[in-house]
A and B are shown apart, each in its own frame.
Chain A
């Protein structure tokens, strides 16, 4: 009897394992556990077992029943899964996907990572410095002395010095990232290659292309034998890497107190590719950065010998790079926290 029960269990379990659909499972269930199933019929024979062994056989029979039931139950879920997997073909795959719950990085950050990577490839390191700055680092070190007319082009926000030891008018919000030029060069020796992205502040009324807070990405390189052609080459490389290899770049002479020679840099308009459109005021060109060979007075101010080392420096309107890249027509979009804007990037 015991042997018979074990056989029933084994054959039932092996059949269940091999079953491929729900119908087959139902049949197996009926075959073993049904009214005239093998196990049911066997159990009816239990009366024939001698009394002293009946309890043990009964226990075994119950165990066999439990194992069969449990195995069926386990495999029911396996079969259900299999069936649902084959069923997937029946759903409407043209339904829209379910949007994952992920946020977006601000376009400024995305562009920043990209530009930082480009500069890193050519040996530049990234620095970050103060926004609350002294007149000294923002202007004096850079050969922009008090009463220099260039100060007109960088209208300054002055900080309230009350309650402090600072002289009125001497502590400002930096008007450009070039404040880092002096700070970096003073504390390191050439060769040095650095970029310093960050926020700058101007006393300026806000409109589509101006703001009192915006981002710049400035940088410098100083070494023996750096040349104007190196400056032009580096700027062109970065602009083309970022905006695309078919971007045209041109340099025109300009004047900055902290560089000599100085250049203003233009690139072909991102919207019309140089044909001329309203975005570029129909010139085909947009201004992207100012640059030049670091002025000997600046090198001298930081303790470098301008006869032994030379360098170049530049400042690009970083906010502008972002708006140019994405063809945004208003600088203010970058400080607008509207998710309808942010989710586009």
Chain B
């Protein structure tokens, strides 16, 4: 929203500096994005939040400035009184058929004998300042009045309304409609439109039709100031990808009580600039009276939510500058909400009004004093676990990366069919269409990306993958995956073993490791793995008696697994505390065996007995022999 300072000053006195006003506007909620200095003016570029349709007008912004400056606002003088049909010299007929469900208020009037021409300089200048093109005096007046007051309006060439009938209805879908600016649209179903006897002449709340617009030859006009339904305007505008200043206002909710004054202002200007005279009754077809409403604010509640006590006088003063007519009785303030403030519906809305004008930065800062919650919250996540795991990985040389969850079909490796992946209906591009079922694709990509700068590359990611063929089966899981071109299979296995040990997981990580042409890759379902952790660590006293240690070289067939030999040895006696593979050469494997008893010294004879038991069992089970 562009707001020229000179225009604001027509309605309110400003004492703040330009910069100070910009900061204050931001503080009260009209985010001042930019202050543009022109040769003769200063333009504020404001970001208006969706709740404040009133501030999509200069008067709306001026009201906020008045509250900031604690000044009264000067509204434009309205001459027009709509004296009634008796005074009219000429009456032009018009039949209006409307439906309150889709058009709660339809205000309008006919003016005859106007002269369409160029706008006066003051009007053109105003429009140029807010980046609007001057078209002709009538169109410019409607744009000007909308900008000034915030109620959109549209003028029809009365002579082009076939049969002098206007019917408000909803499109069946597919109707052709040419907007005033000459673009052809196919209307979506349920778009609110006005038709005359023959054709669609208006796409309500969004754009007028070319077939009924005001051009050079226009003599008689019908000015319509409507209240449209936000949802309906919004849906049509979105479907067509067609936004206008009017539609932005309607979809946020227009000032329902502002149609008459808007029409008066427009008529004043038309008569002044384009001449002519009123040629119809005032049409104001409405579903209800659209009166201001009452809203209560309990002083106690105000203090409770804000955390400070603001003096009653100050609170009343703030509400007064906002034109909310506050009346204090028994610690309750009753306000009357003008129809342009349709964002004020509940007590909390009033609390915010007081707070923002009081100034957020005038509040003290406190910390919550209540009890600290002690029960575990739902969806609890223990980041300490991640930290443990990541520390082992980084200590082993792996660096952490984060990659996108969304991947493209062409990146999928063989064996992964896009049909089996969760898919985004409206991807930002084809490269980010599917939810990743594995971290492998991105890790391989990351490895090759680094190849030009690094020889040794070790990367890992702890991130979500998205499992399931369709949304009914969809499941999110954290995967822990890594890739290295610099460590061998057993180093990676040892790393995973170390992680498992730290988490108290009794599992063999072999199956999680894969040898790829790019390097060694591992991937495990971290969410699943975490179900098996045991972080309880209890101290075991150091052995009081020394162990006997020996290395046995065993000759065994190639197809016999080391893990089987180790458990084969270990199972032979409870005093075998540990067995590990020391060396491997051709068909011989050397095992390092630690014999230990917690309660006594072992003798050579005892160990010899166990040794022969081991050898016997290895011989029987695996045809393995002691290397001699």
Contacts and interface: CB of A to CB of B under 8 A. Distances in A.
Contacts of B306: 227-229
A221 interface: yes
B428 A163 contact: no
A160 B422 contact: yes
Contacts of B426: 157-158, 203
A162 B400 CA distance: 35
B526 interface: no
A272 interface: no
Interface residues of A, number: 96
A199 interface: yes
Given A102-B395, A149-B251, A193-B372, A171 B401 contact: no
B446 A337 contact: yes
Contacts of A166: 471-472
A193 B422 contact: no
B363 A126 contact: no
A183 interface: yes
Nearest to A161: B471
Contacts of B372: 123, 191, 193
Contacts of A158: 424-426
A92 B404 CA distance: 47
Nearest to A171: B471
Interface in B347-391: 348-349, 351-352, 355-356, 360-361, 363-373, 375-383, 387, 390
Given A232-B360, A296-B346, A159 B423 contact: yes
Contact of A263 (B349, B360, B428): B360
Contact of B365 (A132, A162, A229): A229
Interface string B445-458: 11001100110111
B373 A103 contact: no
B422 A127 contact: no
A160 B423 contact: yes
Contacts of B50: 148-150, 152-153, 255
A106 interface: yes
Contact of B370 (A105, A147, A223): A223
B472 A165 contact: yes
B449 to A, nearest CB: 6
Given A230-B367, A233-B366, A131 B476 contact: yes
A261 B352 contact: yes
Interface in A128-163: 128-132, 146-150, 152-153, 157-163
Interface string B407-425: 0000000000000001111
A19 interface: no
Given A228-B305, A261-B356, A310-B305, A254 B49 contact: yes
A52 interface: no
A184 B377 contact: yes
B113 interface: no
A229 B363 contact: yes
B367 A180 contact: no
Contacts of A335: 402-404
B404 A237 contact: no
B469 interface: yes
A104 B470 CA distance: 36
B276 interface: no
Interface string B492-533: 000000000000000000000000000000000000000000
A22 B52 CA distance: 92
A148 B375 CA distance: 36
Contacts, number: 275
Interface stretch (A1-9, A77-85, A107-115): A107-115
Contacts of A173: 424
A252 B370 contact: no
A160 B400 contact: no
Interface stretch (A24-32, A35-43, A66-74, A205-213): A205-213
Contacts of A234: 367-368
B65 to A, nearest CB: 14
Contacts of A340: 453
A251 B373 contact: no
Contact of B400 (A109, A171, A250): A109
B626 to A, nearest CB: 30
A109 B368 contact: no
B223 interface: no
A224 interface: yes
A253 B24 CA distance: 10
Given A199-B464, A229-B365, A255-B49, A337 B425 contact: no
Contacts of B369: 225
Nearest to B401: A337
A287 B417 CA distance: 42
A226 interface: yes
B26 to A, nearest CB: 5
Contacts of A194: 377
Interface in A171-202: 171, 173, 180, 183-184, 187-188, 191-194, 196, 199, 201
User: Taking each of B304, B395, B400, which has the highest tally of chain A beta carbons within 10 Å of its own beta carbon?
Assistant: B400
A233 B365 contact: yes
A293 to B, nearest CB: 6
Contacts of B377: 125, 127, 184, 188, 192, 194
B373 A229 contact: no
18 contacts: A106-B399, A109-B390, A123-B372, A125-B380, A127-B378, A128-B379, A147-B231, A187-B378, A192-B377, A226-B370, A229-B306, A230-B367, A234-B367, A251-B363, A252-B31, A337-B459, A339-B399, A343-B399
Interface of B: 26-29, 31, 49-52, 230-231, 234-235, 251-252, 304-308, 343, 346, 348-349, 351-352, 355-356, 360-361, 363-373, 375-383, 387, 390, 393-406, 422-428, 432, 435, 442, 445-446, 449-450, 453-454, 456-460, 464, 466, 469-474, 476
Given A164-B470, A203-B428, A337-B450, 19 more contacts: A104-B394, A105-B390, A106-B401, A112-B383, A126-B382, A149-B252, A157-B424, A159-B423, A191-B373, A221-B368, A223-B368, A227-B366, A236-B365, A250-B360, A250-B361, A252-B31, A253-B28, A261-B355, A295-B348
6 nearest A-B pairs in the assembled complex, by CB-CB distance = A227-B307, A229-B307, A261-B352, A337-B446, A253-B29, A255-B49
